Amino acid sequence: MSVSVEMTEGVRDWARLQTVITIMDRVRELELAKIGLNMAQATVLYCLGTAEEPMTPMKLSRMMHKQPHTVLLWCTAWRLGAWSTPRET
């Protein structure tokens, strides 16, 4: 015997919102891929570009809400050439 579960209007609204968020994330990934970036790289560039003072990995990690060692690895990889620089369109 199966039990029928009916979603309330609020639950349906949250499900629709999650669908929109997922679609926007995918579109953002596709747009960034056109210039050779991923979301992590774009976030690093944005934080560095909007900072009013020189950024250390610790300050950058706080601004990005990421672990300091993760941001340090990203910056090190970029500096060593593991991450490519953005292409001009």
pLDDT, tens digit (0-9, with 9 covering 90-100), for 10-69:
999 999 999 999 999 999 999 999 988 888 888 888 888 888 888 888 888 888 888 888
In this prediction, residue 34 carries a pLDDT of: 93
| Domain spans in the chain, listed from the N-terminal domain onward | 9-80
3-state secondary structure of 84: coil
- Taking each helix axis from N to C end, the angle separating 68-80 and 39-50, rounded to the nearest 10 degrees, works out to 100
Q: Read off the amino acid at residue 89.
A: T
Task: Please tell me whether the overall predicted TM-score, pTM, comes out greater than 0.85 for this model.
Answer: no
In angstroms, rounded to a whole number, what is the distance separating the alpha carbons of residues 61 and 64?
Answer: 5
